[in-house]
Structure 1
Amino acid sequence: MTRMQTTVFILVAVVALVLGLTVNKVLTNSGRADPAILLDAGIVLLPQSRALPSLSLINQDGQAVAVDQLKGKWSFLFFGYTFCPDICPTTLAQLRELKTLLPEEARNNLQIIFVSVDPNRDTPAQIKQYLSYFDPGFQGLTGDEATLQKFANGVSIPFIPADTSKENYTVDHSGNLVILGPDGRQQGFIRAPLNNQKLKEHLSGLLSVQE
């Protein structure tokens, strides 16, 4: 190897090292330093963020909300329904607990949004009353079935519409949460069942990132 080649080799190595350290610092500061550790906590981040479909739903106060305008804070979306006998009340109770476990900065930068998959029974008033049992700060969304299906499919949390002709029907749905960044784009998922002890350790860094 000539002297010139040696010099070039050293420069390339130094540049690679600097880039590596820079990338590692960025990932560390954004809470994404070790995907394996995040995965162990149930946090799955997408390689690239994903835009939400352009559609409008109704919140718990009867007001129209454009889902692609859910910005300003990190958001956890949970698709469920108020007549759910098990997964929904358990998950909402866990989310209430998780908020108390997070540092104040992370807690203030997070909003929990409940999306109904049972528009037949879940009126805005019903959703508002239901969420008040867990945390009056939780937000709710509903709409017609076609719009809800489009939204759910757009964030990869599909559900199976219920046979509403049956009394006390149930709705098949996922227990996973959708993670939205402050930019309103989908950043990933939190897999069910939730492990609050692990989540509190790894969400603080993520929720402090302003994207």
Structure 2
Amino acid sequence: MGMAEVDTVKRLSCLAAIFISVLLFTGGNAWSASPRSSAESTANQLISRADKAFRLANYKQSAAILRQAITESGHKVSPVLWHKYRLAVLAQAGDDYLSGVPKNRYRVPVAVFGRDYQKEGIRKYFLLDVRQPEEFVKSHIAGALNIPFRQVLRHLAWLPGAGSDKVILIICRSQHRANHVLVVLRELGYTNAYTLQGGYHAYRKWLQKDALPGAGSTPSVPPKADDEEDFGC
């Protein structure tokens, strides 16, 4: 082997030693740069797809794609990705909730309830009044149980079971709060849950106009127009 060849071998050996030293110093990141770039590229593509699904109001699909992007990102998930995923999950939950708010379903007309009540009392119904205690004390349907609507889920044991033959009739002043409780109970499997159409205010009007004497409401001051907490509705 000539001197030139020996010098070449030495230079190659030196370069190899330097390269190995760099690898050891960087923890081998030089080898993983390409896979990481590939993973980042895949995650970015998924995020782009998720953004498109979100804009089209397909929140469930958007959340599923972002979950996949989080998986692809491994242990290095960017705050932006987490934020997008959180928004997609919240939007999905909100959309499911609003879609489930009944407009014309799961409500008992005041006249139907009133006639049932006059004939059978509360035998057919479990009356759940979700107004505030001060509203309930002023006036309520005899036999009703008062659980303020923000506390209903803390007292599910007080309600008839989801498979009960008794109708859980949810009552508030004008059906606003009752609708919120209805959606939650229905989601929990209470297929026997209904609202009183128009709420207690409508029932009082029906009593004054159509009811037989002595039908079903405690004698007290009629509810005022501002009794209902309507969330801006």
Common fold, TM-score beyond 0.5?
A: no
Which structure shows the bigger proportion of residues in helix conformation? Answer: 2
Q: TM-score range by the shorter chain?
A: under 0.3
Highest CA radius of gyration, 1 or 2? 2
Which structure shows the bigger proportion of residues in strand conformation? Answer: 1
